[in-house]
Structure 1
Amino acid sequence: MNFRQFAINNVLRSKRTYIAHFLSSAFSVMIFFTYGLLAFHPELKDGIVSSSGTMSELGTIGMTVSQYIVFIFSFFFLLYSVGAFIKVRKREFGILLILGMSRKQLNRMLFIENLLIGAAAIVAGIGAGVLFSKLILLISAKVLAVDNGLPFYFPLKALLLTAAAYAVLFLLIALFSSVMLRKGTLLALVKAEESPKPQPKASPWLAVLAVLLIAAGYGVVMAFAVLQIFNFLLLFGGVALVILGTYFLFTQFSVYLMRHLQRKERFFFRKTNLLTLSELMYRIKDNAVMFFLVSIISASAFTGIGTTLAIGDPGLSAMENPYAYTYPYFEEEAELGNQHLSIIREELKKGGFDYKETSVQPIFSANGMKLVKLSEYNELAQSLGYPAETLGEHEAILTPSTVTEKNSYRIHGPAYEEIELETGKEAVTLRIAKAETFIAVPQGYGEQLVVSDSLYEKVKKTQEEQGENGFVIFHAFYVKNWKDTGDATRAMAERFNESGEYSYYLNSLYMDWKSAQQKNGILLMVSGLVGIVFFTFAASFVYFRLYADLARDEQQYQMIAKVGLSRKELGTIVTRQLLIMFFLPLLIALIHSGVAFVALQQLVDFSIVGHSIKIFLFFLTVQIVYFFITRWRYLERLNKIIQ
């Protein structure tokens, strides 16, 4: 057997240890390949440009940045995992040195092993990417809202780029692995597993500080959302407090809690609690930084994907414009406007849509106030399901034109109690009766006042006497199931253009949503794939730490088995420990992202509960499956030892 075969056999013999490292590496290769597959697709650019001229550039930038993120994060993840495996094999390396292997040969062996695993991961990752490329393109076409779809092509450029990039990455990892091993004497390598661990300690003050920091961070984030204080430094400060509090939560509070439970004798000496708590205290202390990283990375993945799903929700498009169609025209263009309105009505009826049609003609006072007639406003409000309002001659209602104004009215109410209105002949003081918290007037801008019909007519008559005209009439069509109006919208546009008349403006909520869906589709692809990679790496951290302590656990449970530990009791102890290791960081991540989603809900009118539950269930299901597989393999290994 030559030296190269010896290195290959080392990898094959340690396949149980290296399996998570290999699968995670292959998965990151596949994700990187997926970005390349989409970035180099010959028809992706055309499919997006047909709806939005800026999407090609944004898509290319998004995919490129995501590739860099996955690549850089993969480097640090692989470096961490290689370091964990070197720690596990220190005793093995020490024995090899005693048997006559030189340091140079040991470094060469590690270099070959890492290159072998890297080459296998590249082949497996690209192979999986090519195998599922058709499915990836189908899903991508759906997410990016590309009507014509994305046909399959052989992704040679993506394949070459992925292979070259990860070849360089694994070469760097192989070089770094040799540097890591240079630390420590021969004696330290041989006795690496025999070094005693100090008793874990924790400060009660830092434990309390952890809770206070997290609570303060939550408070700042909620203040940002509820009070609409859109200050980046405020949000950043809240997130920083939560991150710092999470660090102390695992390094101090968790250890302090374990020590507190140890002092509860009735609980501590019950059944196997003594072994479970004692072992958990050491595991949590040893893995505190890893738990912290997993929690923050997972929370970032959950929040990023959830926010993107919320941004892509059709409810977001309807927040500023609740009407399926808005058609404005000037009074002098009434003939053409009525023709187009007839087409809209016909196509809606042809499509089987129930709709409510209303109209409004805003005018401006002499001092620039936008006025809306009360009767027209009530028709708009009632079409949306809101009650009608009544006003006196000298009363007015503030109605928002933007989401920002709507939220301001909801939180702070009207900024003033009275307002002076110049009709053109006289000044009238109006009392602000209320400030509405929903958008009713289509395509509004600036401050809008709903006034009585008589006052409205007085202002309009004065303006007409002064020679002012050209008021715009807005026709609004409310359709409950507007997301299904795509075919009707396209048919309307075709009929409008048949006469060669293009001087019209038809605002379609469906087309607005379609454009937003394409923009957010790219964001969803970027955040979704990066988030999944982050979560996969985070879950692998737990696996690496578990197997880093496997040799010590084998010795420990072997000795305990000699004094009567049964397999059932071993399974109970191990299951409890694995539950903490796998689900404690995930629980903290779910709480952090849950608070983030509650804050996000304050900023939007539609419910994001569905998106939040979908994300949590997906990642929780993956983690549960991962837990049971790891538990099965771990117990199988320990049961063989204690036989």
Structure 2
Amino acid sequence: MNMRVIARKNVQGNLQRYMAYFLSCVFAVSVFFIFSSFIYHPDVTEDKIYGGEIVKVCLYAAEVIIIVFSIFFIMYSNSAFLQARKKEFGLLSMFGTSKYQLRKMIYYEQTIISFISIAAGIGVGLLFSRLFFMAMTALMDVKAPIGFTIVPKALVITAVGFIILFQTLTIISLARIRKLEIIDLLKASQQPKGMPVYSKWLTVLSVICLAGCYTLAATAGIIDMIFRVFPILILVLIGTYFFFTQSSVAIFRSLYKHKSSFYKGTNIITRSNIMFRLKDYARMLFLTSIITAVILTATGVIYMFYADLKNQGETGIPQAIAWVEQDASAYHVIKPDEVEDALKDAGAAVEYRVDVTGIPVSFKSDRMKWKTKDDEGLMISEKDYNDAAEKKNLPPAHLKKGEAFISFPFVYGNQTYFESEESTEIQTADEKKMTLTMGKDRNNGVLFSRGRASKLVVVDQETYDQAAESVPLNKKTRVLGYELSDWEHQVEVSKKLENMVQKEHQDSFQVRAPGYQIMKQATALTLFIGLFVSVVFFAVQGSMMYLRLFTEIEDTRIQVFALRRIGVTKKEIRSILGKQMGFLFFIPFLVGTIHAAFAYKALSNMLGSNLFFSAVIVIGVYFIFQAIYYMITRKVYERAVLKNMDI
């Protein structure tokens, strides 16, 4: 019997242990192949698809992520496989197998698995690539469907790329066998584990790091996040690592001291098993919790942005069609009659119309320290503001004489122009100055969102009338806008109106539908691609936990046999196994969810929206998948542990 035959029989004998690893590899290969098939599809490479180049860039990035992630996953899996089989390798060495023969056998095993994984992955990719092309056709709004075809370049890149990847990592892992002696191999599974210890200082450090990153994320705005993103990432990695290597030991040591609960039922066995294996579990728990956080954060942020896109569009561009006439005495940009005729011809229903005249003003805010010059705004009356706000279901303003506030459609993080009861000097278009008592800013889109009209200085009616008396009509600014009932689908008429506006007035005219549809399409594509990558991450994370359980299954079987002999019931044994598995599956989920929750809070701050229900949906869906995977793995694992035992 040569080494190839032995390697094949070893793979067959360890099939249950290899199964999750194999399926994860198959899934990663299939997703990579599907993405490559789109990137190198003739319709995409020949520029027959509008927006194809942008999607190609996204898919390239996704492929890089899959490759990098696969490298770490395969290295981790190879290490775990070798660790679990040290005793087997020691026995083979005692019977005369040389280290060269051992390495050769392991190489053949890994090669068999890798080649089957690549072949199966490409096969699965071919089966599902048609569905992927259909989905991309719908998401990209392509008139001619992307036809199914086998793309030779994608086939070669996927096969050759993953063969090189698997072979390289296998050769690297074989170097570990060279350094081990027979006695080390035989004793690997017999070395007793002592009571785990922890450092108080590192435990405190983990708490400080996690508290610090959560605080930075929870209080971050758009501008803050630019400078905080890397400190947050560093702190969360350090904090999570020391949480599992140090703080978790401290927590279990404290539980160990509570004798009343420790000796209750099977807690003594469950807690002891977990505590004495914490150091072994630490790296896996750290990796799986970070993977969970990445999946929830990436998918959640994209989904929340997508779910809130319509609201952001209506806030960022308050009316579906709007323009600003710098000279309120005439129409230079476009005439209202022309707009109304175009809307009528397109069958677009007008929900309401706004027509507000204001006075150009300038002001300075000490709070906006990043601005080097005075802000330009548009002073309007309280009455005009309330009329427009009512149409957008926004709260009205109630101002006394000399009071004012700034209304603008964007959120500058935690920075505001003014807080309540601040006094500031406003200069009008005729260079007159007035001092006003400012109220708290309002971040809501009411009128035009470009230039000075985006920053409305809302004053009481009497103050406005006094200021307007000395400003001629041709020095005032007029804002006009039309809101449409079905504005999301009025792309054609919006583009038609844009083309009717002369080039020099384009900055004074804005429409909502075209930009919204482009952003919606881009976000939907990103979400769709991100879901594929997230599923790969989820499969890999599950495989790591499955692998950890099956690498120590022989020790577990020995313990279960001993427990059964001293009278522990079948129900109690299943409970012990279930709790231990639950710890591995749901503690990383809990930690990852907490990480993601603070990322959602940061996004909520940046968008100025309440994203709680979207967050619940994302976390809930992920929990359901995690629970299903847990139940399947538990059933398979219990069956493997209890096999051939009379219990």
The alignment's TM-score, normalised by the length of structure 2, stands at 0.87
1:309 corresponds to: 303
State the alpha-carbon separation in 2 of the partners of residues 271 and 500 from structure 1: 79
Write the distance in 2 (CA, Å) between the matches of 1:619 and 1:327.
45
The corresponding residue for 1:477 is 482
TM superposition shift of 1:89: 1.4
| Counterpart AA for 2:410 | T
State the match for 2:294 in structure 1: 300
Query: Match for 1:324 among 320, 325, 339?
Result: 320
| 1:121-163 alpha-carbon deviations (Å, 9 max, x no partner) | 1111111111011222233344455565544333322222111
Alignment of 1:490 onto 2:492: yes
1:152–1:328 Cα change, 3 Å: farther
2:443 to 432, 437, 447: 437
Q: 1:148 to 1:309 in 2, by over 3 A?
A: farther
Match of 1:598 in 2: 601
Q: Deviations over 1:388-439 (max 9, x none)?
A: 445566544322253328x6349x6269413142452754434435533322
Give the drift of 1:310: 2.6
CA separation of 1:639 and 1:387: change in aligned 2, threshold 3 A: closer
Deviation at 1:263, TM superposition (A): 2.3
Tell me: CA distance 1:97–1:369, structure 2 relative to 1, closer, same or farther (3 Å).
closer
Counterpart of 1:561 (choices 561, 564, 574) is 564
Unaligned stretches of 5+ residues in structure 2: 364-375
SS of corresponding position for 1:198: coil
Do the aligned partners of residues 334 and 162 (structure 1) sit closer, same or farther apart at CA in structure 2, a change above 3 Å counting?
Answer: same
Q: Which one-letter code corresponds to 2:634 in the other structure?
A: R
Native 8 Å contact 2:420 2:439 kept in 1: no
Query: SS of the residue aligned with 2:427?
Result: strand
Pair 456,516 (structure 1): closer, same or farther in 2 beyond 3 Å: same
Give the drift of 1:458: 6.6
Could you tell me which residue of structure 2 aligns to residue 6 of structure 1? 6
Structure 2 residue aligned with 1:408: 415
Give the deviation of 1:117 after TM superposition: 0.7
SS in 1 for 2:219: helix
2:191: which partner in 1? Answer: 195
Q: Which amino acid aligns with 1:478?
A: E
Give the stretch that moved more between structures: 41-50 or 55-64.
41-50
Query: Are residues 240 and 64 of structure 1, via their aligned partners in 2, closer, same or farther at CA, if it must alter by over 3 Å?
Result: same
The AA in structure 2 aligned to 1:4 is: R
What is the distance in 2 between the residues matched to 1:625 and 1:91?
34
CA deviations on 1:362-393 (whole Å, 9 max, x unpaired) are: 44259965333444333211111234445566
Match of 2:126 among 127, 130, 146: 130
Instruction: Note closer, same or farther for the CA distance 1:386–1:608 as it changes in structure 2 (3 Å cut).
Output: closer
| Separation (CA, whole Å) in 2 of partners of 1:191 and 1:176 | 24
Task: Kindly tell me the number of residue pairs found equivalent between the two proteins.
Answer: 626
Work out whether residues 118 and 159 of structure 2, in 8 Å CA contact, stay in contact via their aligned partners in 1.
Answer: yes
1:28 shift after superposition: 0.9
Deviation string 1:521-565 (CA, Å, 9 cap, x unpaired) is 454345433333223222221111111111211222222222222
Distance 1:285 1:449, change over 3 A: same
- Could you tell me which amino acid in structure 2 is paired with residue 554 of structure 1? R
What residue in structure 1 maps to residue 371 of structure 2? none
Deviation at 1:481, TM superposition (A): 5.5
State the shift of 1:102 in Å. Answer: 2.3
> 2:405 is matched with which residue: 397, 411, 424?
397
Aligned to 2:198, what secondary structure does the other structure show? Answer: coil
* Residue in 2 that maps onto 1:41: 41
Change (3 A) 1:231 1:21: closer
Structure 2 residue aligned with 1:168: 164
SS at structure 1 position matched to 2:115: helix
Structure 1: distance between partners of 2:479 and 2:149 = 47
Question: Take 2:333 and 2:109, find their aligned partners in 1: how far apart are those partners?
Answer: 80
Q: How does 1:258-407 map to 2 (within 5 A)?
A: 258-312=252-306, 313-314=308-309, 315-328=311-324, 332-333=330-331, 337-343=335-341, 345-346=343-344, 350=347, 353=349, 355-365=351-361, 370-389=378-397, 394-404=402-412
Secondary structure at 1:100 match in 2: coil
Partners of 2:132 and 2:495 in 1: how far apart?
33
Equivalent residue for 1:219? 215
8 Å CA contact retained: 2:129, 2:148: yes
Residues in 2 aligned to 1:118 and 1:252: alpha-carbon distance in whole angstroms: 36
Whichever residue aligns with residue 258 of structure 1, its letter is: F
- Answer yes or no: is the 8 Å Cα contact 1:323–1:478 preserved in 2: yes
Match of 1:88 in 2: 84
Distance 2:139 2:421 in 1: 42
1:510 aligns with 2:513: yes
How many angstroms apart in 2 are the aligned matches of 1:502 and 1:377? Answer: 30
What secondary structure is seen at the aligned counterpart in 1 of 2:189? Answer: helix
Tell me: CA distance 1:458–1:117, structure 2 relative to 1, closer, same or farther (3 Å).
Answer: same
Larger deviation: 416-425 or 67-76?
Answer: 416-425
Indicate if the aligned counterparts of 2:359 and 2:429 stay in contact, CA closer than 8 A.
no
Cα gap change, 1:432 to 1:103, in 2 (>3 Å): closer
Unaligned stretches of 5+ in structure 1? none
Q: Give the root-mean-square deviation of aligned CA atoms.
A: 3.2
| Residues 1:472 and 1:568: Cα distance change in structure 2 (over 3 Å) | same
What is the distance in 2 between the residues matched to 1:496 and 1:194? 77
TM-score (normalizing by structure 1): 0.88
SS of structure 2 residue aligned to 1:443: coil
Change (3 A) 1:624 1:556: same
The verdict on how the C-alpha distance between 1:384 and 1:186 changes in structure 2, with shifts beyond 3 A counting, is: same
**More deviation, 631-640/190-199:** 190-199
Q: 1:605 offset after TM fit, Å? A: 3.4
Q: Deviations 1:19-40 (Å, cap 9, x if unpaired)? A: 1111111111112113212322
* Amino acid across the alignment from 1:477: Y
Q: Output the CA distance in 1 between the equivalents of 2:399 and 2:264.
A: 73
Tell me how far 1:258 sits from its aligned partner. 2.0
1:542 correspondence with 2:545? yes
**1:145–1:503: structure 2 CA closer, same or farther, 3 Å change rule?**
farther
Amino acid at match of 1:21: Y
Residue 364 of structure 1: SS of its match in structure 2?
strand
Aligned: 1:16 with 2:16: yes
Paired residues of 1:319 and 1:605 also in contact (CA < 8 A): no
Equivalents in 2 of 1:244, 1:531: separation in Å? 23
| CA-CA distance at 1:49 after TM superposition | 7.4
Percent identity of paired positions between Structure 1 and Structure 2: 26
